[in-house]
Amino acid sequence: MIRHLFKLIWNRKKSNFLLISEIFFSFLVLFGVLSFGLYNYHNYQKPLGFTHDDVWLLTLQTQSDSTAEKLAVEEQVIQRMRSFPEVEQVAFTSGNAPFAFSSMMNRLSYGNVKDLDANQYDVEDAYKDVLGLKIVQGRWFGPQDGTTLHEPIVINRQLQKDLFHGEDPIGKLLTPINDSVQYRVIGVTDYFRASSEYSPEEGAFFTRINRQKDQSTWGSLLIKVKPGTGVAFEEKMMRELGLIAKGWTMDVSTLEKMRQTKSRLTLVPLIALAVVCGFLVFNVALGLFGVLWYNINKRTGEIGLRRAMGATTRQIRAQFVGEVVVLAFFGVVLGLLLAVQFPLLDVFQVASGIYWQGMALAGLFIFLLTTLCALYPSRQASGIQPAVALHEE
């Protein structure tokens, strides 16, 4: 039976080559879209490592060049924020707050690991309580860190894995790209994915903001408000802060809105790709269906002869479905030869398991699609009676 199918396919190699080509390109498109979707799905399933509910981001900007004036205004702002009964915690941070369109990278070295890129976050002590960070090893910043010889930092688990490879990091000294300072690890947080809920886990570390010592301005304030706090308090807060920071530009947004904005940047392209992929697959399905229908009309005599020689309706149906499955097999195998290069060459630095899952799902979908397209035409073919077929001949 299989040998007979191959012979029939070879006799129609020109038309079948076009079908195999369509299946080949459809498999590649499906593989790409599914891999992209699986990559984002796996990232989405991982914890963020912090809570963003009821957290606001207040940004402060001024044209003044006086550092003393900026520090005085920022101090008044944070003191006023802490006095509001609706506010639970507040902390200054660098501009790369969670879900913000800003990043700050630094390179760290330890042992044999040199110049490893990691996300750096400058934070106040209350930052941990604002975002609900979980310390899994060591401790968070405290007043005792104000007079240490080496600058204390807290790292996340991913950076611990990248730098220390299972070694206990507490107390270890790290050398940043700026050799004028050294970091001492005092704690390790759990997951921390601040870029987006669809972003991968990256190495990150926190440095302590000491406003009494650093004499630096920050301009970003994370505010933890009580549940249910809404627009009324926002208007009141901005009005009173405007009296303190006269002439300053202030903007407030919730981390939830910022999260949604970042999510759309991932979901919109993914949906667009899915629509294009669906359109392509739909056209391939129409092509398969049309070719099968045409073949049945052209091969009525062959079908009638087989029925006259004793072939059952099941055998006729199996023949046409089998031909399509064999064509799909050739198309998928050609696609696999190209797709398998992605995990082998570590393209885009994506986990190889995602590529293998994408290949499996794309192949399964192609076989399912081709089988479904062949069912109805093959059923029509199996219903042809020998006398009718031979009469038409």
pLDDT digits (tens, 9 = 90+) for 130-142: 999 999 999 999 9
Residue 21 has pLDDT above 90, yes or no: no
Q: Distance of CA 299 to CAs 13, 213, 307, 384, Å?
A: 16, 89, 12, 11
Handedness of CA 244, 247, 253, 258 (dihedral sign): negative
- Of 197, 187, 207, the C-alpha closest to 92 is 207
Provide φ and ψ at 163, rounded to 5°. Answer: -90, -40
Q: Where are the domains of the chain?
A: 2-46+261-392, 63-247
SS3 at position 380: helix
d(CA 214, CA 60): 18
Q: Distance of CA 238 to CAs 24, 77, 257, Å?
A: 59, 11, 18
Residue type, 303: I
Residue type, 215: Q
Structure tokens at 236: 């009141």
d(CA 332, CA 138): 52
pLDDT computed for residue 392 by the predictor: 52
- Of 207, 251, 7, the C-alpha closest to 106 is 207
Residue 202's contacts (CB-CB under 8 Å, 6 or more residues apart) are 118, 119, 158, 193, 195
d(CA 262, CA 269): 12
Of these ranges, 58-67, 229-238, 276-285, the one predicted with the greatest mean pLDDT is 229-238
d(CA 279, CA 256): 34
Structure tokens at 320: 């046409």
Of these ranges, 179-183, 266-270, 318-322, the one predicted with the greatest mean pLDDT is 266-270
Structure tokens at 349: 């630095």
307 band by pLDDT with thresholds 50, 70 and 90: low
Range 41-68 average pLDDT? 92
Q: How far is CA 131 from the centre of its chain?
A: 22
Write the pLDDT tens digit of every residue in 74-118.
Answer: 999 999 999 999 999 999 999 999 999 999 999 999 989 999 999
pLDDT computed for residue 179 by the predictor: 66
Residue type, 340: V
Write the pLDDT tens digit of every residue in 250-300.
Answer: 999 999 999 999 999 999 999 999 999 988 888 888 877 777 777 766 766
Q: Specify which residues 107 forms β-bridges with.
A: 117
- Of 362, 56, 381, the C-alpha closest to 235 is 56
pLDDT computed for residue 389 by the predictor: 52
Q: Specify which residues 206 forms β-bridges with.
A: 121, 154
pLDDT computed for residue 10 by the predictor: 62
DSSP per-residue letters across 122-177: EE-TTHHHHHT--EEEE----GGGGG-SSEEEEEEHHHHHHHHTTS--TT-EEEES
Helix axes 313-339, 352-382, angle to 10 degrees: 160
Report strand pairing: 220-225 vs 55-61: antiparallel
